[in-house]
A and B are shown apart, each in its own frame.
Chain A
Amino acid sequence: MNALEIADVWKYYGDFPALRAVGLNIEPGSTMALLGRNGAGKTTLLRIIAGLSRPSRGSIKIQGADARDQATRQRIGVLGHGIALYEELSAIENLTLFGKLYGLPDPRKRADEMLERVGLARVRDGLAREFSRGMRQRLAVGRAFLHDPEVLLLDEPFTALDDRAIAVLQSMIQSMRDRGRTIIMSTHQLREALELASHVALLQRGQIVHTGERTQEMLDDTGWLYRTYGEN
C-alpha cells in the first residue's frame, strides 16, 4: 500500500484551476520534494493532503484512508507557513495542548522530551509571545513532530528559519527518514530539498510535469530539473 495516493485531483478557486488533474503515488519511507515556482500549486496540494481543504474533484488516500478521517489525521504531522502556537500559552502548555489533541498517553512527559530535543527545556514555562523568532520556530518544529507522525507534510520548512532552527529541523527530518517515515516537503529552495529527498515531483501551473527518483544529476546541477522539464 502506498503512503499517499493522489488521483486526478483538481482544485478551483472560483473559475481558476489551482490544481489540474494531479496524480501522484508516494511509497512508504520516501522523502518527496514537491518543487515548483511560486503559484505552481504546491501549498494548495499540501493543504489538500493535510485535510485543510477539499479537492474540487479527485481523491486523496493516505495509507489507504481518506485524508479527513480522524485516524488518518492522527498519523499526519504538518508544519506550514505559520508557527501554529498560542502566544498567550507557555512552551510546555502549547506542546501539552497538542499532545492532548493527538491523544498521546502522557502529553506532559512527551512535551518535556520534545522541549529538550529542540533546546527549549530551560524556558519551558516562558510564554510563546516572549520568545525570539528562532525559539518560536524551534517550538513549532517540536509541535509538528510531537506525536511522531508516520507522514510528515512540510510547507517551505526552511524559509525564514535561523541557523539553529534549520539544524534542529534537519536532524529531526533525518531521524524520521532513518525510521522509515514518509516525508513530503514543498519548497523552492532546491539545494536543501534535493539533499534530503529520495524522490522529486515538479509542479507547474497546477500540473505535475515530472515525478521520479532524485538523481545525482539533479544534485550536481540544481537548475537541471527546471531546464529539462520546466517551461524554461
Chain B
Amino acid sequence: MFLRQVWTIAAKDLHSELRTKDAWNASIAFSVVILLLFSFSFDPSSEQVREFSGGLLWMTYAFAGALVLNRSFAREMQNDCLDALIASPVSSAALFVGKSLANFALLFAVELVSLPVFVLFYNLQWGAAQVGPMLLVLVMGTWALTIIGTLFSALTVNLRLRELMLPTLVYPMMIPALIAAITVTTNVLAGSPPGLGIRLLLAFDIIFTLLAVVFVDTVLVG
C-alpha cells in the first residue's frame, strides 16, 4: 500500500513535469549556462580544474536543484490540490517520499545532462574506473539535496516569499552533505579513492531521510 502510494505520487509529479517542463527547462538551462560561463571566464589549467571541479559541480547542482525543489510543493498550491492530497488516505510519509523520488529523478537527469558539458569544456580525463564512484557520489549527494529540499519545500509552501526562503533555509542545512560530496567528487576526478566523505554522505542520507519521514506530517498538517 505504502509503495503503491509512493509510486502514484512520484509518477504524477514526473508526468506533470514532463508535460509542462517548467522546472526541467529552467534547471537544465541554468546548470549548462553556469558551467559554460565559468569555463569561458577563468580558462583554468588541468591542475586547477582538478582542485575546484567538485566545488563547481556541486554548487551548480545545488542552485539548479533549488529550481526543481521550489516547484515541488508549489505545484500543489494551484487549485488547493495539496488539501485534496492531505485529505486523501495517502500517508504524509508516502506523499513526501513520492515527491522526493520525483525530485531526485529530475535533478539526477539534470546532472546527467550537464556532466558531459562539464567534462567537455574543462578537458577532464575520465577513466572507466572513475565512472562507478562518480555515479555513487552523484546518487548519494543528489538524494541529500533532494530530501532536505523537499522537506523545506513543504515547510515554505505557504510563505509568500517561498522562492527566496527555500534556498535561505536549505543551503545551511546542506553544508555537511555538500562538503562531503565536494570532497569525494574532487578525489574521484583526481583519480584518488573517495575517502571518508562517502560515509558522511551515507550517514547524512539515512539520518535526514528518517527525520523527514517522521516530521513531515507535522509540517503538512501542523
Chain A residues in contact with chain B, CB under 8 A? 50-54, 68, 70-71, 73-74, 76, 78, 80-89, 93, 97-98, 100-103, 143
Contact = CB atoms under 8 A, between A and B. Distances in A.
A97 B76 CA distance: 14
A69 to B, nearest CB: 9
B78 interface: yes
A81 to B, nearest CB: 7
Interface in B154-203: none
Interface in B79-109: 79-81, 83-91
A50 B91 CA distance: 14
A78 B83 contact: yes
Interface residues of B, number: 25
Given A52-B87, A102-B89, A82 B80 contact: yes
Contacts of B12: 86, 89, 97
B4 to A, nearest CB: 8
B79 A98 contact: no
Contact of A88 (B5, B19, B222): B19
B155 to A, nearest CB: 16
A86 B81 CA distance: 7
Contacts of B15: 89, 93
B107 to A, nearest CB: 20
A84 B8 CA distance: 17
A80 B80 contact: yes
A80 B90 CA distance: 18
B5 A68 contact: no
A9 to B, nearest CB: 14
A87 B88 contact: no
A87 B20 CA distance: 10
Contact of A89 (B16, B89, B91): B16
B37 interface: no
A74 B217 CA distance: 17
A85 B19 CA distance: 15
B128 interface: no
Interface of B: 1, 4-5, 8, 12, 15-16, 19-20, 78-81, 83-91, 217, 221-222
A84 B81 contact: yes
Contact of B89 (A50, A86, A101): A101
Given A52-B83, A54-B221, A70 B8 contact: no
B108 to A, nearest CB: 22
Given A52-B83, A83-B80, A84-B84, A74 B221 contact: no
A36 B170 CA distance: 42
A103 B8 CA distance: 11
B16 A73 contact: no
A83 B82 CA distance: 11
- Count chain A CB atoms within 10 A of each CB in B1, B20, B80, B85 and give the residue with the most: B80
B221 A68 contact: yes
Contacts of A73: 87-89
A78 B87 CA distance: 7
A101 B83 contact: no
Contacts of B19: 88-89
Given A51-B221, A101-B5, A101-B8, A87 B79 contact: yes
Nearest to A51: B87
A93 B11 CA distance: 12
B20 to A, nearest CB: 5
Which 5 residue pairs spanning A and B have beta carbons closest together?
A82-B80, A84-B84, A74-B89, A73-B89, A78-B87
A68 B85 CA distance: 13
A88 B81 CA distance: 12
A143 B89 contact: no
A53 B158 CA distance: 14
A81 B81 CA distance: 11
Nearest to A93: B15
Contacts of A70: 89, 91
